[in-house]
Amino acid sequence: DGGITQSPKYLFRKEGQNVTLSCEQNLNHDAMYWYRQDPGQGLRLIYYSQIVNDFQKGDIAEGYSVSREKKESFPLTVTSAQKNPTAFYLCASSPPGTYALTQYFGPGTRLTVL
Amino acid sequence: EDQVTQSPEALRLQEGESSSLNCSYTVSGLRGLFWYRQDPGKGPEFLFTLYSAGEEKEKERLKATLTKKESFLHITAPKPEDSATYLCAVQYNFNKFYFGSGTKLNVKP
């Protein structure tokens, strides 16, 4: 049963802490993405990766970091430099393609700063 | 400047009352326009990809259409289980995506 998994579902962070959100896919997709969703706003791209060991900053990368050591995994670290991290975080992946890339999303992680 | 605008922000329908949701975009060089359904606290669920003006796609009570500047998601005879937020996204470069803020649909029995 192929899909995208994210963990944990809920995450609480104290001021000054770094936290890591997990994203795993078994769809054999090359591209993976991280988005942030805030109430009343569209999804905003944080980072994306087209292939293993390569990733690019999106529109709001400041305060975040990623790695792509395996095709299946694309973890996101929210660092203490991110001043307003409370949000719903969504991971997505896309199958190979040369034109339009349909993205498939995981269930999300809700991060709350205490 | 918003690249993707969805309207209305919220829509309340009676069961069986057909309507349309709008997604207008300002980007040029569109590669694809995508519709998603999102339930509260969950990730978006893919519905349709549209590639060029004039294209239409259907799935059960949903039909998506595309023109050069906007897309419509038509909902025919909706049921309460169609209640959700519907998101529109456009891709205009290999890895450039813009999402609208969504239309929250509530279908009353």
Instruction: List, run by run, the mean pLDDT of 10-residue segments along chain A (114 residues).
Output: 90 91 95 94 93 94 97 96 93 83 94 91
Residue with tokens 């978006």: B44
Question: What pLDDT does B104 receive?
Answer: 97
* B81 φ, ψ (degrees, to nearest 5): -70, -10
Cα of A41 vs its chain's centroid, Å: 17
CA–CA separation, A13 and A110 (whole Å)? 11
CA–CA separation, A47 and B94 (whole Å)? 14
pLDDT band at B2 (very low <50, low <70, confident <90, very high): low
CA distances from A79 to A111, B11, B30 (A): 12, 38, 34
Question: Which chain B residue lies closest to A99 (C-alpha atoms)?
Answer: B31
Token pair belonging to B60: 């059960």
pLDDT(B59) > 70:
yes
Q: Which of A31, A50, A102 sits opposite B34 (nearest CB)?
A: A102
The beta-carbon contacts of B73-76 under 8 Å, at least 24 apart in sequence, are: B73/B20, B73/B21, B73/B23, B73/B35, B73/B47, B74/B18, B74/B19, B74/B20, B75/B13, B75/B18, B75/B19, B75/B20, B75/B21, B75/B105, B76/B18
The reply to whether residue A100 touches residue B32, judged by beta carbons under 8 angstroms, is yes
Residues of A in contact with B94 (CB under 8 A): 101
pLDDT(B94) > 80:
no
Kindly state the average pLDDT of the residues B3-12. Answer: 96
pLDDT(B26) > 70:
yes
Question: What pLDDT does A98 receive?
Answer: 67
pLDDT(B55) > 90:
yes
Question: What pLDDT does A40 receive?
Answer: 82
Most A CBs within 10 Å: which of B97, B98, B99, B101, as the mutation test of the A interface?
Answer: B97
Residue of A81, A80, A76, A83 lying closest to A109 (CA atoms): A76
Question: What pLDDT does B1 receive?
Answer: 59
* B82 φ, ψ (degrees, to nearest 5): -80, -5
pLDDT band at B95 (very low <50, low <70, confident <90, very high): confident
pLDDT(B46) > 90:
yes
CA–CA separation, B109 and B89 (whole Å)? 29
Question: What pLDDT does A1 receive?
Answer: 62
Residue of A89, A49, A56 lying closest to A73 (CA atoms): A49
The reply to whether residue A105 touches residue B89, judged by beta carbons under 8 angstroms, is no
Annotate chain A with three-state secondary structure: CCCEEEECCEEEECCCCCEEEEEEECCCCCEEEEEEECCCCCCEEEEEEEECCEEEECCCCCCEEECCCECCECCEEECCCCCCCCEEEEEEEECCCCCCCCCEECCCEEEEEC
CB neighbours of residue A27 within 10 Å: 13
Residue with tokens 């995208």: A4
